[in-house]
């Protein structure tokens, strides 16, 4: 009877602690949350948005994390968007970036994009500016170093748009 009581107590403890342990965030979730809080501390917002499907993709990319600065009063309803293509082509901006509409950034923004896009890692999937603000679609790979690049690019593009 003594062993049976110990087994019952262990089962009860496991039934209580098991779900509590499962609800704790994983190390990967903690890392993402740390990135998002660091961005928020510098005035950069975070959301989950759809990245437009490109012509060469069989399936839609789906929802991807977006880091953005809210729109300024001078930003128009219709904005520009660049999405990293799956292949290099001469019609793409800087070889790898495909325009998603007919709107183009100002010359100041184009200069910044020309200087910075080549240094961004593959985890940056798209960049846009318009009614939703200046946005960078990023899969959150690369850690703090990439976050620093993204925040700097967002701030430079916002300054150029004003």
Q: What is the mean pLDDT of residues 79-97?
A: 74
pLDDT confidence of residue 59: 64
Share of the chain above pLDDT 70, in %: 85
The full set of domain ranges for the chain reads 26-161
Instruction: For residue 92, name the pLDDT band (cuts at 50, 70, 90).
Output: low
Which pLDDT tens digit goes with each residue over 23-71?
888 888 888 899 889 989 989 999 998 887 665 555 666 788 999 998 8
pLDDT confidence of residue 76: 59
Q: What is the mean pLDDT of residues 102-131?
A: 85
Q: What is the mean pLDDT of the chain?
A: 82
pLDDT confidence of residue 152: 92
Question: For residue 140, is pLDDT > 70?
Answer: yes
Q: What is the mean pLDDT of residues 144-156?
A: 90
- DSSP letter for each residue of the chain: -HHHHHHHHHHHHHHHHHHHHHHSPPHHHHHHHHHHHHHHHTT-EEEEEEPPPPTT-SS---EEEEEEEPPPTT--SS-EEEEE-SS--TTSBTTTEEE-SS----HHHHHHHHHHGGGS-TTEEEEEEETTEEEEEE---SHHHHHHHHHHHHHHHHHHH-
């Amino acid at each position: 009877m003594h062993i049976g009581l110990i087994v019952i107590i262990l089962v009860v403890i496991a039934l209580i602690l098991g779900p509590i342990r499962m609800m704790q965030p994983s190390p990967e979730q903690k890392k993402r949350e740390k990135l998002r809080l660091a961005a928020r501390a510098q005035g950069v917002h975070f959301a989950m948005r759809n990245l437009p499907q490109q012509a060469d993709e069989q399936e839609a990319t789906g929802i991807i994390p977006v880091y953005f600065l809210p729109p300024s009063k001078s930003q128009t309803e219709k904005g520009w968007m660049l999405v990293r293509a799956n292949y290099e082509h001469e019609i793409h901006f800087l070889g790898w970036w495909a325009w998603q509409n007919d709107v183009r950034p100002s010359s100041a923004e184009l200069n910044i994009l020309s200087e910075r896009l080549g240094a961004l890692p593959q985890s940056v999937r798209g960049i846009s500016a318009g009614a939703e603000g200046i946005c960078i679609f990023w899969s959150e790979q690369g850690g703090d170093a990439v976050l620093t690049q993204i925040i700097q690019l967002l701030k430079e593009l916002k300054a150029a748009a004003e």
